[in-house]
Chain A
């Protein structure tokens, strides 16, 4: 892989992020109501005082100027203050990030551990009863509404059998690993279900395609068994399209599982997003959106890099 390509690809991220930030900035400024609207009905705030507030916050400037100021501040890491709590947006997000990373990381590990064998099994036993059942189950996995699944799990495991805590991050006063695991079990299962289903289905598809190639027939002819052919010959080629899907899901796992965190009252950035929505806390919302977009853009970049590792034939010029 040429270094010039890597440099160009990295530089390409910058205009993409700029375009995203323009889009988000425009959307937020199209919203009805502005930051000074809370004072509009207050009789003790004179029009003159209102004008002074607008000047103090730079709201009298033309929109492009406001955007440039905001964008350069974002680039310098000054993300503004939360309207809800008055604390810096970066502090708010940094506080919630570890919980999201724990949940997302667990779900990621679960997905990779389960999707790989399921996909391989399904492809190796294609058009058998096992394959049909696995396919149907993975269709169910991508079709089930996660919030409903979460509610049903709570109903079964927390209310009916009282095995697991219904929600939350930890029992107050209990910092043991077991307690964390018990809280983590249901959210991680719910969050990873869709990705397990999706990844294994994709892997099955591309593996079935790979198994029809000539080099696979050659490998069989040389006397390899099915397992050997799949692991040593077909899998590497079949993983390529799967990497794209994984990179797309990776970002959404990391950047916060809004629904899962909401249902299970998990104190991550997905929950922070919904709380900020309720309070119309635009600085936090903008920070989270930019962070999520950054994660997505970087994940795509990583996918491109991983391609070249898996398949040496791919060269970017």
Chain B
């Protein structure tokens, strides 16, 4: 797991050649700190269960996500023994579509967060490390992107270009990296002044090596926290886009466009709108709780 890998890296520069058993126990104590609070345990459990479910859904579900029951076309059908969450207007099984939608929503959320984190880390590290002109221009660019309202801009882009999944991920990730960039810049600004960086430089390390091998590993904690929070906000953003009809298009289900399809039927078939919204809610809540627990575990305050 990434948490385990993260912990030794934080202290990596203190004792790079320490005994092999050392990182193991550090990883364990980190996990113990992370899972001390009940919300963190519940969140992690829920996310693992959800991941397992959406991965296994093709094996478990008797229906394909776009398989239509021709007898049930036209009106949403109420839940029964064959379709536990009912069927939509096209006669597709709602339960199956919710979990297939989870695959897309989770993938888009994770991938967008990854793009945002890589981009934000790169920009923040360059700005913080080189300072001067580079810093000024990169941070001015960050200010410009931050000064355009996010949701309208993403809507405008996806409305104009009708993106596929890949470009949707690039659009979301490409417009949400700014918070990470600022955090990483701040970290790098203070880390680059420390003695171990001078020592590494004296040993002949180039700028690239200094940033990648010496400075960034020490900023893994804050980067991990902001990456986790980015997953939650990316899932929310994708679902908002798809809900408004400008994100992922049917028949590919996502939690957002399932809600879009369910909203005209809210009065007559509320069982269609309940599950996808609850899934978004529970997932984002779990991700945020986990991010908060990560922050507490990585930066012990009191």
Contact = CB atoms under 8 A, between A and B. Distances in A.
The answer on A and B forming one complex is yes
A30 B160 CA distance: 9
A152 interface: yes
A145 B153 CA distance: 19
Taking residues whose C-beta sits less than 8 angstroms from the other chain, chain B's interface range is 35 or more
Nearest to A295: B149
A136 interface: yes
Interface in A83-123: none
Interface in A8-51: 16, 19-20, 23-24, 27-28, 30-32
A241 interface: no
A80 interface: no
A300 interface: yes
Interface string A285-308: 100110011001100100000000
B270 to A, nearest CB: 5
B25 interface: no
Contacts of B119: none
B30 interface: no
Contacts of A255: 149, 152
B232 to A, nearest CB: 7
B288 A139 contact: yes
Give chain B's interface secondary structure class. Answer: helix
A209 to B, nearest CB: 8
B263 interface: yes
- Determine chain A's interface SS by DSSP, over half rule: helix
B106 to A, nearest CB: 15
Contact of B160 (A20, A32, A274): A32
Interface string A267-284: 000000110010010000
The bracket for how many chain A residues form the interface is 35 or more
Contacts of B151: 252, 258-259
B160 A251 contact: no
Contacts of B263: 147, 151, 263
A30 B155 CA distance: 15
Contacts of A27: 156-157, 160
A155 interface: yes
Given A143-B232, A155-B267, A259-B244, A292 B148 contact: yes
Contacts of A151: 259, 262-263, 266, 273, 277
A252 B159 CA distance: 20
Interface of B: 39, 140, 143-149, 151-153, 155-157, 159-161, 232, 236, 239-240, 243-244, 246, 259, 262-263, 266-267, 270, 273-274, 276-278, 280-281, 284-285, 287-289, 292, 302
9 contacts: A20-B144, A20-B147, A145-B240, A145-B277, A151-B266, A152-B273, A258-B155, A259-B240, A280-B159
Interface of A: 16, 19-20, 23-24, 27-28, 30-32, 136, 139-140, 142-149, 151-152, 154-155, 159, 212, 251-252, 255-256, 258-259, 262-263, 273-274, 277, 280, 285, 288-289, 292-293, 296-297, 300
Q: Which 7 pairs of residues, A with B, have the shortest CB-CB distance?
A: A148-B277, A143-B285, A31-B160, A292-B149, A143-B284, A19-B144, A277-B159
